[in-house]
Structure 1
Amino acid sequence: MARFHLGLIINPLAGLGGPAGLKGSDGVAAQAIALGSQPRAALRTRVALECLLPLRERVQFLTFAGDMGEDLLADMCFDYRVLGHSAQGTSSAADTRAAVEALQQAGVALILFAGGDGTARDVCAAARDGQPVLGIPAGVKIQSGVYAISPRAAGELTARLIEGGLVRLSSGEVRDIDESALREGRVTARWYGELTVPQEGGYVQQVKQGGVESEELVLGDLADWLQDSWEADVRYIFGPGSTLHGLAQNLNLQTTLLGVDVIENGQVIARDVTEAQLFELVAEHPARLLVTAIGGQGHIIGRGNQQISPRVLRAIGLEHLRVVATKRKLGTLDGRPLLVDSGDVQLDDAFPDVVKVWAGYKEELLYPVGK
C-alpha cells in the first residue's frame, strides 16, 4: 500500500511563556526558561500523533531536524524523512517558513504544525493558496481558527483523512494578539490572512426527506458553483459518468453519458472526443479536468475514460484535476481510496496522496488516492 505523506513542524518554543505568566512566548523564551518553564509543544504533538500509531505502516512523515519534528518521530518509531534543519540551531520564525516551503515542494497531503498564533502567522506567510494545514494547539493564546480544538482532535481528524473518511476543506482565519501590548494590559489583535484547513465532513449535505442526501439537489448546487466560477477562455473537460452528465444537464449543456466532452465559455465545443482530438484541444490551451469515480472500485482514471491519456493529463496538469462526487457516492467506497491506473507508472506515482473532491456548493472534501 502506498504511503500517506504528512508534513510535521513543531515550534519547540511555543507555550513557554504561559506557565511563567508572560502572556505569550514571542521574544521571551529565554526568560520563560529562566523562570522554570519547560517546553511543551513536543508533548502536545505526541498526544496528536498517538492517534496515528495504529496507522504507522501507512504513513511517512516529512519534517525538519531535531526538536522541529525529527526527535519526536524517531522516539515514536514513525517512518520519516528530514528535509532540512534550523539555520541557527534554535528554531526561529524563518525556520518555520522554510519548513513550510520545503514540505509543499515535496508534495505532502497535509501539514501538521504545533504552536500558537505566532506559528500560524509564519505558516500563513509561506503556505500556498489551497495547501491543507492543521494546527496542533501548543501556544499560550490561540485566536486563530486554524487549530484543532485539542491535540487529540488534530490526531483523530488526521487519522480520519488517512482512513478515507470524509474530510471537508474550510477557510480559517489567522489572527494574533500583540503580546507586548498585552503585557501592558492592552488587547490589540490583527488579522494576518487565511489558511485552508480540514474539518470533519458529515455524510449528509443536502436533505430532501428522511435525512438522506439528495443527488438531484447536490448536482444543482454543483452546477451553481461551477456557473459562478467559469474561467473565461478555459476549456473544461467533462469525463464520462452519470454524475458529470447530470451536472451538465443542470447547466443546460448537452453532453454524452459515456463519452468525454469539452466545454468553453459555457458552450459545448466538442462532444464524445477521441484521445487524439482531446490532446489537440488541450495541448496548447488552458484546461480543467472534471472526473468522477467510475465503477465499484472507485477509479477516477483508467476505467471508462481512456481518452484521458497520460499525455492529456500532463498537458492539462494534475493540479487542474478535480473529482466530482456526492458524499453518498464516496460513502459507498467504505473508506477505500480513489484509484488511478493511467497506464503510466511514473504518472500514477506523481498523483498526490489526496485529491480535492467537489461535493456541494463551494464545498470541497479531501479524499485519499491509491495507486
Structure 2
Amino acid sequence: MTAFRLGLIINPLAGLGGPAALKGSDGVATEALARGSEPRASERTRLALQCLLPLRERLQFLTFPGAMGADLLRELGFAYQVLGSLNDAATSAEDTKQAVQRLQEAGCALILFAGGDGTARDVCSVVREGQPVLGIPAGVKIHSGVYAISPRAAGELAARLVEGGLVRLASGEVRDLDEAALREGRVAARWYGELTVPEEGHFMQQTKQAGMESEELVLLELADWLQDSMEDGVRYVFGPGSTLHGLAQNLGLETTLLGVDVIENGQVLARDVTEAQLFELVEGHPSRLLVTAIGGQGHILGRGNQQISPRVVRAIGLDHLRVVATKRKLGTLQGRPLLVDSGDPVLDDSFPAAVRVWAGYKEELLYPLGWAAGSMQP
C-alpha cells in the first residue's frame, strides 16, 4: 500500500509569549523563556496527531528536523522523512517559509502547520495558490480563519481525508494583530491574504441533513463557474460521461456523450477525437483537461476515456487536470478513493495523494486518489 503523504511544520516558538503576558511571541521568544514560559507547540501538535495514530500504517509525513516535527513524529511512531536541515536550534520565520516551499515541491496533499497568526502569515507569504493547508492552533493570537477550532479538530479533519471522507476546500483569511500596538493597549488588525483550507464537517452527514442534491442544478452551477473562468485561446478537453456532457449542454455546446471533445473560445473545436488527434491538438498549446469519475467505481483515467493517453496528460500537465463530479456521484464511492489506471505506472505514481474536485459553483472538494491496482485502497 502506498502511504498517504502529509506535510508537518511545527513552529516551536509559537505560544511562548502568552504565559509570559507578552500578548504574542513575535520577536520576544528569548524574553518569554527568561520569564519561565515553556514551549507548547509540540504538545498542541501531539493532540492533533494522536487522532491519526489508528491510521499510522497508511501515513508518511514529510517534515523537518528536531522540534519542527521530526522529534514528535519519532516519539509517536509515525513514518516520516526529514527534508532540509536547521542552522540553529531556534527556528525563524525563514525556516517556516523554506519548509512550506519544500513541502510544495514534494507534492504534499495537505500541509499541517502548528503556530499562531504570525506562522500563518509566514505560510501565506510563500504558499502557492490553491495548496491546501490546515493550521493547528498553538499560538497566542489565533484570529486567522485558517486554523481548526482545536488541535483535536485539526487531527480529526486530517483523518477524514486519509480515510476517504469528502473534505470541502474553502478560502480562509489570514489576519494578524500588531503586537507592538497590542502591548500598548491598541488593537490594530490587518488582513494579509487568504489560504486554501479544508472545512470541518463530513459531506455524508450534511447530505442527510440538507436532503437530496439536485443533479440538474449542480450542472447549471458548474457551467456558470466554468464559463466565468474559461480563458481565451485555451483548449478545454471534455472527457466522456453524462456529467461533462450535461455541463457542455448547459454551455450551449453539442458534445458527444461517450467521446472526447475539445472546446476553444466558446465553440466546439473538435468532436469525438482519437488519441492521435487529441495529442496533436494539445501538444504545445495551452490546454485544460476535464474528466469525471465513473459512479460507484471512481476511475477518472483508464476506463472509457483511453483517448486521454499518458502522453496527452503529460502534454496538458497534471496541474491543468480537473475532476468534475457532483457530491451525489462521489457519495456512491462510499469513501473509496478515486482511481487512475492510465497504463503508465510512472504517470500514475506522479499523481498527488488527493485531487481537487469541482462539485458546484466555486465549490471544490479535496478527495483521495489511488491506483486502480488497489495499492492505495483504504
Scaled by the length of structure 1, what TM-score is found? 0.97
Q: Give the SS at the match of 1:212.
A: coil
Letter of the 1:43 counterpart: E
Determine the structure 1 residue equivalent to 2:247: 247
- The answer (yes or no) to whether the contact 1:204–1:211 under 8 Å persists in 2 is no
Q: Give the SS at the match of 2:55.
A: helix
Moved more, 267-276 or 293-302: 293-302
Q: Which runs of 4+ in 1 moved over 3 A?
A: 200-207
- The answer (yes or no) to whether the contact 1:218–1:359 under 8 Å persists in 2 is yes
| Whole-Å separation in 2 of the counterparts to 1:307 and 1:354 | 23
Q: Give the SS at the match of 1:88.
A: coil
CA RMSD of aligned residues (A): 1.6
Displacement, 1:90?
A: 1.1
Map Cα deviations across residues 164-198 of structure 1 (whole Å, 9 max, x no partner): 11111111111111111111111111111111111
Determine the structure 2 residue equivalent to 1:227: 227
- The answer (yes or no) to whether the contact 1:66–1:85 under 8 Å persists in 2 is no
Question: Superposition pairs for residues 314-329 of structure 1, below 5 Å?
Answer: 314-329=314-329
Question: Superposition pairs for residues 1-371 of structure 1, below 5 Å?
Answer: 1-200=1-200, 203=203, 211-294=211-294, 296-371=296-371
Letter of the 2:253 counterpart: L
Identity level (%): 79
- The answer (yes or no) to whether the contact 2:295–2:329 under 8 Å persists in 1 is no
| Whole-Å separation in 2 of the counterparts to 1:58 and 1:322 | 25
Map Cα deviations across residues 112-132 of structure 1 (whole Å, 9 max, x no partner): 000001000110111011111
| Whole-Å separation in 1 of the counterparts to 2:90 and 2:283 | 48
Cα 1:217/1:206, change in 2 over 3 Å: farther
Q: Give the SS at the match of 1:160.
A: helix
- The answer (yes or no) to whether the contact 1:145–1:172 under 8 Å persists in 2 is yes
- The answer (yes or no) to whether the contact 1:204–1:212 under 8 Å persists in 2 is no
- The answer (yes or no) to whether the contact 2:204–2:331 under 8 Å persists in 1 is no
| Whole-Å separation in 2 of the counterparts to 1:245 and 1:158 | 34
Displacement, 1:19?
A: 0.9
Displacement, 1:107?
A: 0.5
Displacement, 1:295?
A: 5.2
Scaled by the length of structure 2, what TM-score is found? 0.95
Displacement, 1:29?
A: 1.0
Map Cα deviations across residues 250-305 of structure 1 (whole Å, 9 max, x no partner): 11110111100000011111010000000000002110000011253210000000
| Whole-Å separation in 2 of the counterparts to 1:58 and 1:19 | 37
Tell me how many residue pairs correspond in the alignment: 370
- The answer (yes or no) to whether the contact 1:204–1:213 under 8 Å persists in 2 is no
Map Cα deviations across residues 333-358 of structure 1 (whole Å, 9 max, x no partner): 01100000000000000001111000
Cα 1:21/1:210, change in 2 over 3 Å: closer
| Whole-Å separation in 1 of the counterparts to 2:119 and 2:87 | 17
Displacement, 1:89?
A: 2.5
Letter of the 2:12 counterpart: P
| Whole-Å separation in 2 of the counterparts to 1:182 and 1:251 | 52
Letter of the 1:315 counterpart: A
Displacement, 1:202?
A: 5.0
Q: Give the SS at the match of 2:83.
A: strand
Letter of the 2:263 counterpart: I
Q: Give the SS at the match of 1:213.
A: coil
| Whole-Å separation in 2 of the counterparts to 1:319 and 1:147 | 26
Displacement, 1:204?
A: 7.4
Map Cα deviations across residues 1-32 of structure 1 (whole Å, 9 max, x no partner): 22111000000010011111111111111111
Displacement, 1:201?
A: 5.5
| Whole-Å separation in 1 of the counterparts to 2:64 and 2:210 | 49
Q: Give the SS at the match of 1:84.
A: coil
| Whole-Å separation in 2 of the counterparts to 1:116 and 1:228 | 35
| Whole-Å separation in 2 of the counterparts to 1:367 and 1:200 | 14
Map Cα deviations across residues 129-156 of structure 1 (whole Å, 9 max, x no partner): 1111000000011111111110000001
Displacement, 1:37?
A: 1.0
| Whole-Å separation in 1 of the counterparts to 2:294 and 2:14 | 46
Map Cα deviations across residues 237-258 of structure 1 (whole Å, 9 max, x no partner): 0000111111111111101111
Map Cα deviations across residues 50-87 of structure 1 (whole Å, 9 max, x no partner): 11111111110000100000000000000000001223
Determine the structure 1 residue equivalent to 2:375: none
Moved more, 77-86 or 197-206: 197-206
Unaligned runs of 5+ in 1: none
| Whole-Å separation in 1 of the counterparts to 2:156 and 2:296 | 28
